[in-house]
Amino acid sequence: MQRLYYVAPGADRAVEADPADLAGLRAAGGWIWLDVVGVVPAEVQAIADQFGFDHLAVEDVLDESEYPKVDDYPDHTMAVLLGIADDEQRLRMVEYDAFLGPGYLVTFLHEDLPGFGWMRSHLTEPGRLGGGGPDRFLALLVEAEAARFRTVVDSLEQQIDSL
C-alpha cells in the first residue's frame, strides 16, 4: 500500500495526496514522503525507476537484512533500519528502508510499524513538522521507532523481575 504526503514550501504540516500525483507534486516544490507498506518487487522497482535509486540499494530493500546500515549515493542516501513489530507474543524485528534525497523521503516497510502509524496520524496537524524538510522528518520517524525499544526493554525488565 502506498501513501503519499506533500509538504508545500513553507508549510508546517503535510497533506495526504494521491500517489498518482507524485510526479506533479515533486515538480511543485516543497517535499514529499512516499510511504510504502508491503514490499512487492515490481512496485519497489517501479518506484526505484521513478526516483533513480541505485540498483544495489533496491536489492537491499528486496533482501531483508539483520543489520542496519547507511549507504551514500551521488544523488540520494539509503538507510536500512530496524523497528520492533507490534507483536505481543514475541520480540520481533522488522526492517524498514529509507531513501532520502532532494525534496523527498521514500520509505519501504516490510510490515507496518507503530511509530510510522503514529507519524501518519499526526503529520497533517498544524505545526507538527516544525518547518523541517525530509531529513528532519526521517529523524522524527527513526526517533518514534527507537522510542519503542525503551518500552519493550522496560516491559522485559518487569517480566524478568516478576520471575
User: Residue written as cell 525503551?
Assistant: 150
Domains of the chain and any CATH numbers = 2-162 (3.30.460.20)
Distance between CA atoms of 132 and 150, rounded to whole angstroms?
26
Share of the chain above pLDDT 90, in %: 62
- Indicate whether 11 pLDDT > 80: yes
Q: What is the pLDDT of residues 13-26, one digit of tens each?
A: 899 999 999 999 99
Q: What is the pLDDT of residues 102-139, one digit of tens each?
A: 999 999 999 999 888 888 988 888 887 767 899 999 99
- Indicate whether 86 pLDDT > 90: no
Distance between CA atoms of 105 and 17, rounded to whole angstroms?
15
Residues contacting residue 85 through CB under 8 Å, at least 6 positions apart: 92, 93, 94, 111, 113
Indicate the pTM of the whole model: 0.90
